[in-house]
């Protein structure tokens, strides 16, 4: 039985069809022409009524607004035109306003002010002295080449007048200026010690009390019960043993710094390997103490790091100065920015930074 195949469906094509456009709508070209004509007419009308010009800058618009606000808040003086009227006149007729206003006279150029030089201390001989039945202190200021140094000659009547103090009255890392600690204790003369709160080395005895016994590579200054100065430079012995022996001997104070500068009236051989530079040419502010005889001391403070006033000195120079002034023993304490000499309520030297460095401990002489 033959079956007939269904006829294939006809494909719908859109070739040759025209796009539908509602009746009454003009062609696209005509619409574009009308739009251009309207824009031209609008520009012509605007140009005729108010010619186009560049808009004022943001700064100018802000100034105009501020002037308008100010004119409403500030009352004009009698006979003076309002601020907004003056501004309009200046904007519309700048040449006329320039002719009507007097020409301003420029002030002469200000001369450059020179920085005021910092006043450096200068003391006459005999100016820094103190004499009593128990203590004599005489401080002199010296110039030696490019350095300025202070020599305090101190004679006591009792070893207890050679004393100390800690910052905040405690053996710790706390720090205060020399003048703050000294004034609190009414010290006659004071200077920075060994900064024992900063380092952790050696045997620290103050006022007969043991605060530390650790190994050290420094030199140990010893102040015995009679007030005599000596030093321990060989640190190979156990420091706990050294500390117990010094305590048994009744030592008043020990200081960990150095090196020793003078012993038995002779300059020492400075160590080549030390925690600070000991050779010639290393100039720094220095603080050092020496002894001439029983309860007779020399404190030598050298200012430094200040060209034209004092550059500081090296340790060989410090040795020479002590020997020239008759010391039989001398020992270097903490220096640099810590170098401070306090006498009768004020700092008399000039610390390298222009102000005192805060330190952990001081040495004092009491009246």
Q: Is residue 233 part of a domain?
A: yes
Q: pLDDT category, 17, cuts 50, 70, 90?
A: very low
Four-residue CA torsion sign, 36, 41, 45, 47: positive
Which of the two residues, 241 and 112, has the higher pLDDT score?
A: 241
Q: Is residue 73 part of a domain?
A: no
Q: Is residue 28 part of a domain?
A: no
Phi, psi for residue 154 in degrees, rounded to 5: -125, 130
| 218-229 b/e (C-beta count within 10 Å ≥ 16 → b) | bbbbbbbeebeb
Q: For the chain, how many structural domains are there in total?
A: 1
Q: Is residue 51 part of a domain?
A: no
Give the 3-state secondary structure percentages of the chain, helix then strand then coil, rounded to 5.
25, 25, 50
pLDDT at position 37, please? 75
In DSSP terms, 257 is beta-bridged to 219
- Distance in angstroms (rounded) separating the CA atoms of residues 204 and 230: 15
Q: Is residue 316 part of a domain?
A: yes
Range of the domain at 309: 130-365
DSSP state of 284: B
Residue 126, both tokens: 């005999």
Contacts of 9 (CB under 8 A, 6+ apart): none
User: pTM of the prediction?
Assistant: 0.69
pLDDT at position 276, please? 96
pLDDT at position 60, please? 74
Which of the two residues, 97 and 23, has the higher pLDDT score?
A: 23
Q: Which of 29-43, 102-116, 160-174 has the highest mean pLDDT?
A: 160-174
pLDDT digits (tens, 9 = 90+) for 37-83: 777 776 666 555 444 445 567 667 667 766 765 655 544 444 444 44
Q: Is residue 70 part of a domain?
A: no
Q: Is residue 88 part of a domain?
A: no
- Distance in angstroms (rounded) separating the CA atoms of residues 278 and 272: 7
DSSP state of 306: B
pLDDT at position 311, please? 96
pLDDT digits (tens, 9 = 90+) for 253-270: 999 999 999 999 999 999
Across the chain, mean pLDDT equals 83
Instruction: Report in angstroms the alpha-carbon separations of 141 from 121, 150, 254, 306, 361.
Output: 9, 5, 28, 16, 25
Average pLDDT value for residue range 87-112: 47
**317 close to 335: Cβ distance less than 8 angstroms:** no
Residue 179 burial (CB count, 10 A):
17
Q: pLDDT category, 98, cuts 50, 70, 90?
A: very low
Q: Is residue 14 part of a domain?
A: no
């Amino acid at each position: 039985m033959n079956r007939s195949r269904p006829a294939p469906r006809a494909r719908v094509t859109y070739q040759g069809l025209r796009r539908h456009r509602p009746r009454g709508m003009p062609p696209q070209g005509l619409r574009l022409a009308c739009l251009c004509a309207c824009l031209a007419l609008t520009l012509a009308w605007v140009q005729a009524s108010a010619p186009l010009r560049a808009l004022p800058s943001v700064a100018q618009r802000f100034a105009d607004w501020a002037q308008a606000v100010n004119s409403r808040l500030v009352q004009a003086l009698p006979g003076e035109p309002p601020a907004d009227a003056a501004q309009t006149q200046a904007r519309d007729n700048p040449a006329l306003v320039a002719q009507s206003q007097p020409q301003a006279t420029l002030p002469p150029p200000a001369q450059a002010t020179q920085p005021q030089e910092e006043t450096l201390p200068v003391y006459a001989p005999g100016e820094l002295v103190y004499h009593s039945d128990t203590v004599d202190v005489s401080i002199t200021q010296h110039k030696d080449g490019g350095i300025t140094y202070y020599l305090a000659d101190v004679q006591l009547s009792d070893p207890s007048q050679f004393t100390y103090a800690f910052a905040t009255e405690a053996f710790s890392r706390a720090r205060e200026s020399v003048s703050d600690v000294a004034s609190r204790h009414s010290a006659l003369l004071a200077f920075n010690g060994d900064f024992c709160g900063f380092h952790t080395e050696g045997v620290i005895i103050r006022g007969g009390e043991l605060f530390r016994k650790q190994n050290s590579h420094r030199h140990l200054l010893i102040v015995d019960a009679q007030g005599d100065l000596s030093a321990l430079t060989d640190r190979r012995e156990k420091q706990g043993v050294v500390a117990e022996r010094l305590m048994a001997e009744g030592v008043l104070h020990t200081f960990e710094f150095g090196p020793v500068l003078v012993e038995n009236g002779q300059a020492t051989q400075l160590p080549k390997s030390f925690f600070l530079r000991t050779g010639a040419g290393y100039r720094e502010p220095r603080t050092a103490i020496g002894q001439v005889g029983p309860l007779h001391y020399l404190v030598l403070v050298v200012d430094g790091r200040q060209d034209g006033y004092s550059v500081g000195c090296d340790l060989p120079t410090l040795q020479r100065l002590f020997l020239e002034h008759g010391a039989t023993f001398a020992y270097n304490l903490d220096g640099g920015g810590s170098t401070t000499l306090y006498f009768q309520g004020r700092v008399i030297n000039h610390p390298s930074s222009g102000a005192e460095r805060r330190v952990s401990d001081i040495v004092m002489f009491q009246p």
